Structure 1
Amino acid sequence: MVDLFGGHPDTTHLSDSDVQFLDTTLRDGEQAPGVSLTPSEKADVARELDAVGVDVVEAGSACTGPGERETISRVADLDLDATVTSFARGVEHDVDLALDCGVDGVNLVVPASDRHVEGKVGSTRADVVETTVHLTEYAKEHGLWVEVLGEDGSRADLDFLERLMDAALDAGADRICYCDTVGHATPDRTLDAVSRLAALGPTSTHTHDDLGLAVTNALVSVAAGADLVHATVNGIGERAGNVALEEVAVALDRGYDVETVDLDGLYDLAATVASATGVPLAPNKAVVGENAFTHESGIHTDGTLKDDAMYEPYPPEAVGRERRLVLGKHAGRAGVRAALDEHGVDVTDDELAAVVDQIKTIADRGRRVTDADLLAIADEVQGRERDRPVELLDLTAASGGATPTASVRLSVRGEERVASGVGSGPVDAAVTATREALDLDATLESYHVDAVTGGTDALVTVEVEVTRGDRSVTMGASDADITRASVEAMLDAFNRLLSTGGQVATAET
């Protein structure tokens, strides 16, 4: 057991292998509203879970349908080091379907609370125990690893939950699981329930975040004797989600010296799941959020420059991240000078003051100040001409036909390039043509028409945010022609990004 409470329970026999993970991103995580993973996406996520050392991967629920069974079979055929399982309801047919998928085991779910025993399945406590014993024996006879989960266990009568799980273990189950199915439990309830189950045999814990207690209850479960934590990457799942794998893994490692998975692969894993599910990472998300290791405040930046650990609980490199010192309205001289030093830009004290003033002015308008913005400001303050590797030579756009088209002629470091594109309108077509000409791996994050002046020669100001790798820049351009303003803004953004170390693909590539 892991001691989270300063003395109890005993930790003398704790080792790195005492706590493992069962990841249910591909089953419980996919049950989040709007999430549907393709077979190839599930396979990719499963491979990454295996690569970071997750011990059990729940690949799905075989009873869902033929498509899901095909997907589970695909994961089962990946030859992972992890045990691959299927969710199975308390019926023999579900076990058969799981067997057909070639999985290593089943997560057999049976009702535990009276609300589920009587209200959901219309059964009795005695019948549930009898069915659980039969299904466990049936699955074991067919060579499956078996985990029995008492659904809604956090609201169950604990005497009955203990009786049910003890019967499962006697029938041959490899382990039992405490389930806080609706995220209802408090830590003291979790401690009581898991302690009683862990005294029976190998116990897992499955916590949800409806009360914001998923991580707390998972850690309390481990303290009470659970040695396997059910989790999802990024905490996705039904309602408020499941406990986040990365948060529990880091909490156990940093707080209690318990190693579970390879932490340095967590960020890439999180990014893969966010991309596949379409559920973006919240900026303030622990461990993997954009702001987790980002500092803007002048006081915090100054402290971090003096001592990396001044305002961080652990180094970002531990979880595959990098520290970022961003510039905004709270930026101080020390942080700005450090950012300029990182790019090899030397400034006098007066120049530094001018740069800081411009950064604050831009930030006060609600704009992000990126590295590219910083370099452009420094160039302006020091009177340097910015390198413009890409220039617009000519632009034509037509929208009179059924399909709007556009063509651009660019100069890329002296090399002339021509490309055309189609789109939903002339602006979309022109942007498509520009990207085609540059063959640059950049993403247009946002597009905004900022202002329009009056009159027949009205000027339109277009603002775009473009990202390339981990760098982004926001640029604006004005013109009487909205299409030209859009392309000029895009090119200014590309030039800023390229001036911070990027390259445009050559004609041969």
Structure 2
Amino acid sequence: MTRFDHRRYRPSPAMAMPDRQWPNRTVEQAPRWASVDLRDGNQALLEPMDVAHKQRLWRLLVKLGFKEIEVGFPAASQPDYDFVRWLIEHDEIPEDVTVQVLVQAREALVERTFAALAGAPRAIVHVYNSTSPVQRERVFGRDRAGVMEIARDGARLLREAAARHPETRWTFEYSPESFTATEPDYALEVCEAVLAEWAPTVDRPCIINLPATVEVASPNVFADQVEYISTRLSCREAVVLSVHPHNDRGGGVAAAELALLAGADRVEGTLFGNGERTGNADLLTLAMNLYSQGIDPELDLSDPAEIVAVCTECTGLPVHPRHPWFGELVYTAFSGSHQDAIRKCLARQRPDAPWDVAYLPIDPQDLGRDYRAVIRVNSQSGKGGVAFVLEQDYGLRLPRWLQVEFAQVVQRESERHGGALAAATLYALFREHYLREQGPARLIGYQLDHPGHDRVEARIDAGEGEQRWCGEGEGTIAAFVDACARRFGRSLRVRDYQEHALDGGTEAEAVAYVQLEVDGVPVSGVATDRDTVTASLRAVLQALNRAALAAAEAA
């Protein structure tokens, strides 16, 4: 740890903005989205995409609803140039989609960029140059005036090249690269110089893009910087103010959200946040954050499986199982208390009511997730999770006392094997402990009479031939328990009894749950049958058989 010295670093300066307005605002609509997956995201890959993968990712972006897509740096890369030509020559650009390309402020690069875009109905040409002190002094060796001249020359080159290609509707975009590390007054001055060259109007606006090329401060500082520019641009009404947050501090999405409060109209980013170093702002997370607040993200994110599959194939990058909104496990609860709360809330959630379920900020079904995947059972799970899985997958609505008892069985099994238990494994455990006939007493048939109160005569196979057990009581179950008590000479009492149909229809199978007290000790019994009374009597016998087996094992 001798080299781990925090004193080598300086804090980013906060802005003195006592009149800042963004903390009092709320986001009320989706921004203009600009995907930079095919350029910024692609350049950050260990193996950049070939044309076929670019084509597949392009089609996904269009399908999702992106209207502005940065497709490459055609002047610096032959594959990018070829891909831009493929889009134009094969008529792959929908009427409501605009392609965007990046270029440095150099004449030869600008000329080749416009050549790549020949025949495009509309296009955004994005020019940039670095403006921060470290870039000015250590990279370019220029002062403020010299770097501003670079920006002004780039803006002029774009304007002159566009004039030579009037068949395309051009939109110009300028980024003061390393904006977050640039003095705010100087960044504003450079942007104003660029705007003076372009002279945008309300009908023909340009884009000023403020990139957090490296995220050097907390998101609130970025919001201050954005608001500073937004409120001071001389022709703000003719400018689409865009942001391009990176994620070096892990705050890319938060920075984008606060930037929208601070006046940004547009956000550049990538799917799942792919990009240089720790990546760009994740547009999927940002869009779903809006969705969870009741705001239409204006993107179709209803098929996350396709989005994950295409992005994984095209980029070679996996999606973390805990990735916000789209990760495999983000709607899955293992904790017992979480599972119990989710189960209870889902049971009370009305289809026509606003979504309000504990631990689930949105309905997983909106993203194609099944409720069966919401709760998974491991050694940390409790009765609620086990009960939820059995009800969702097998229609078993366990009484609370049986939930508690069976959860202990499940926990022992999970600890023995490690990891989560599949629904089929849970059901197999339940059948083994409760539904498998476990003893000598087996119901063959029964006869009921009602001479003022109930009388039952049951035919029982107890391993020594058929026997007839007779009893009386207030109700069929009470009468049968009386018959069992007479037969065994033991104190029997029904603590609880519940039943329900396993599925709909007149031929539905019923399940009965009995908690029987045998000589003061509670014992559970469960049975199924198409006849409700048969299921109930068999459940009582199951409890008796389990009590007898427990006594034999104890002896």
TM-score normalised by L of structure 1: 0.67
Query: Is the 1:316–1:322 contact (alpha carbons within 8 Å) kept by the matching residues of 2?
Result: yes
Q: Which amino acid aligns with 1:51?
A: K
Aligned 1:244-283 pairs, distance under 5 A? 244-255=282-293, 257=295, 259-265=297-303, 268-283=306-321
Cα distance change, pair 190–94 in 1 and its aligned pair in 2 (3 A)? same
* Per-residue deviation, 1:62: 1.2
* Per-residue deviation, 1:9: 7.4
Cα displacement string for residues 336-379 of structure 1 (whole angstroms, at most 9, x for unaligned residues): 12212222254876986675345323433433322343344345
* Per-residue deviation, 1:160: 1.7
Candidates 54, 79, 84, aligned match of 2:93: 79
Cα distance change, pair 137–196 in 1 and its aligned pair in 2 (3 A)? farther
* Per-residue deviation, 1:24: 0.9
* Per-residue deviation, 1:37: 1.8
Query: Is the 1:180–1:207 contact (alpha carbons within 8 Å) kept by the matching residues of 2?
Result: yes
Show the counterpart of 1:106.
125
Query: Is the 1:168–1:176 contact (alpha carbons within 8 Å) kept by the matching residues of 2?
Result: no
Show the counterpart of 2:394.
344
Cα distance change, pair 164–7 in 1 and its aligned pair in 2 (3 A)? closer
Q: Which amino acid aligns with 2:92?
A: L
Whether 2:178 is the aligned partner of 1:152: answer yes
Show the counterpart of 2:360.
312
Q: Give the distance between the partners of 1:229 and 1:9, measured in 2 at CA.
A: 19
Q: Give the distance between the partners of 2:378 and 2:260, measured in 1 at CA.
A: 41
Cα distance change, pair 41–352 in 1 and its aligned pair in 2 (3 A)? same
Query: Is the 2:384–2:403 contact (alpha carbons within 8 Å) kept by the matching residues of 1?
Result: no
Q: Which amino acid aligns with 1:315?
A: D
Instruction: Find the residue that maps to 1:154 and give its secondary structure.
Output: helix
Candidates 193, 209, 215, aligned match of 2:247: 209
Q: Which amino acid aligns with 2:149?
A: D
Query: Is the 2:50–2:79 contact (alpha carbons within 8 Å) kept by the matching residues of 1?
Result: no
Q: Give the distance between the partners of 2:35 and 2:114, measured in 1 at CA.
A: 20
Show the counterpart of 1:463.
none
Instruction: Find the residue that maps to 2:175 and give its secondary structure.
Output: strand
Aligned 1:315-330 pairs, distance under 5 A? 315-323=363-371, 324-330=374-380
Cα distance change, pair 206–307 in 1 and its aligned pair in 2 (3 A)? same
Q: Which amino acid aligns with 1:245?
A: L
Query: Is the 1:351–1:381 contact (alpha carbons within 8 Å) kept by the matching residues of 2?
Result: no
Cα distance change, pair 368–223 in 1 and its aligned pair in 2 (3 A)? same
* Per-residue deviation, 1:249: 1.1
Show the counterpart of 2:191.
165
* Per-residue deviation, 1:197: 2.5
Q: Give the distance between the partners of 2:126 and 2:111, measured in 1 at CA.
A: 13
Q: Which amino acid aligns with 2:158?
A: T
Cα displacement string for residues 293-334 of structure 1 (whole angstroms, at most 9, x for unaligned residues): 111211111111121411122222334444421111122222
Whether 2:212 is the aligned partner of 1:193: answer no
Aligned 1:407-426 pairs, distance under 5 A? none
Q: Which amino acid aligns with 2:98?
A: T
* Per-residue deviation, 1:231: 1.0
Aligned 1:278-427 pairs, distance under 5 A? 278-308=316-346, 309-323=357-371, 324-344=374-394, 346=396, 356-364=407-415, 365-381=417-433
Cα distance change, pair 118–136 in 1 and its aligned pair in 2 (3 A)? farther
Aligned 1:210-229 pairs, distance under 5 A? 210-229=248-267
Identity %: 25
* Per-residue deviation, 1:175: 0.8
* Per-residue deviation, 1:276: 2.2
* Per-residue deviation, 1:122: 4.0
Cα distance change, pair 263–348 in 1 and its aligned pair in 2 (3 A)? closer
- Larger Cα Rg: Structure 1 or Structure 2? 2
Instruction: Find the residue that maps to 2:33 and give its secondary structure.
Output: strand
Query: Is the 2:128–2:151 contact (alpha carbons within 8 Å) kept by the matching residues of 1?
Result: no
Q: Give the distance between the partners of 1:15 and 1:238, measured in 2 at CA.
A: 30
Aligned 1:229-240 pairs, distance under 5 A? 229-240=267-278
Cα distance change, pair 284–64 in 1 and its aligned pair in 2 (3 A)? same
Q: Give the distance between the partners of 1:306 and 1:280, measured in 2 at CA.
A: 34
* Per-residue deviation, 1:384: 6.9
Aligned 1:462-473 pairs, distance under 5 A? none
* Per-residue deviation, 1:382: 5.4
Cα displacement string for residues 95-119 of structure 1 (whole angstroms, at most 9, x for unaligned residues): 3333333352222122221322343
Query: Is the 2:104–2:154 contact (alpha carbons within 8 Å) kept by the matching residues of 1?
Result: no
Show the counterpart of 2:541.
none
Cα distance change, pair 50–8 in 1 and its aligned pair in 2 (3 A)? same
Query: Is the 2:152–2:197 contact (alpha carbons within 8 Å) kept by the matching residues of 1?
Result: no
Cα distance change, pair 52–139 in 1 and its aligned pair in 2 (3 A)? farther
Query: Is the 1:179–1:205 contact (alpha carbons within 8 Å) kept by the matching residues of 2?
Result: yes
Candidates 20, 27, 31, aligned match of 2:39: 27
Show the counterpart of 1:95.
110
* Per-residue deviation, 1:190: 1.4
Q: Give the distance between the partners of 2:298 and 2:228, measured in 1 at CA.
A: 24
Aligned length: 379
RMSD, aligned α-carbons: 3.0
Cα distance change, pair 168–301 in 1 and its aligned pair in 2 (3 A)? same
Instruction: Find the residue that maps to 1:295 and give its secondary structure.
Output: coil
- Judge which range, 53-62 or 126-135, deviates more: 126-135
Cα distance change, pair 381–280 in 1 and its aligned pair in 2 (3 A)? farther
Q: Give the distance between the partners of 1:362 and 1:279, measured in 2 at CA.
A: 35
Cα distance change, pair 83–336 in 1 and its aligned pair in 2 (3 A)? same
Show the counterpart of 1:48.
60
Cα distance change, pair 362–146 in 1 and its aligned pair in 2 (3 A)? farther
Query: Is the 1:178–1:193 contact (alpha carbons within 8 Å) kept by the matching residues of 2?
Result: no
Cα distance change, pair 319–107 in 1 and its aligned pair in 2 (3 A)? farther
Q: Give the distance between the partners of 1:353 and 1:249, measured in 2 at CA.
A: 41
Query: Is the 1:117–1:128 contact (alpha carbons within 8 Å) kept by the matching residues of 2?
Result: no
Cα distance change, pair 70–325 in 1 and its aligned pair in 2 (3 A)? same
Cα distance change, pair 257–299 in 1 and its aligned pair in 2 (3 A)? same
Candidates 147, 151, 161, aligned match of 1:129: 151
Cα distance change, pair 342–32 in 1 and its aligned pair in 2 (3 A)? same
- Judge which range, 19-28 or 140-149, deviates more: 140-149
Instruction: Find the residue that maps to 2:75 and give its secondary structure.
Output: helix
Q: Which amino acid aligns with 1:194?
A: V
- Judge which range, 44-53 or 235-244, deviates more: 44-53
Q: Which amino acid aligns with 2:358?
A: M
Whether 2:211 is the aligned partner of 1:179: answer yes
* Per-residue deviation, 1:8: 4.7
Cα displacement string for residues 177-232 of structure 1 (whole angstroms, at most 9, x for unaligned residues): 11110111333431232123323232100111111111121111111111100111
Instruction: Find the residue that maps to 2:34 and give its secondary structure.
Output: strand
* Per-residue deviation, 1:258: 5.7
Q: Give the distance between the partners of 2:108 and 2:414, measured in 1 at CA.
A: 61
Query: Is the 2:103–2:113 contact (alpha carbons within 8 Å) kept by the matching residues of 1?
Result: yes
Q: Which amino acid aligns with 1:368?
A: A
Query: Is the 2:379–2:419 contact (alpha carbons within 8 Å) kept by the matching residues of 1?
Result: no
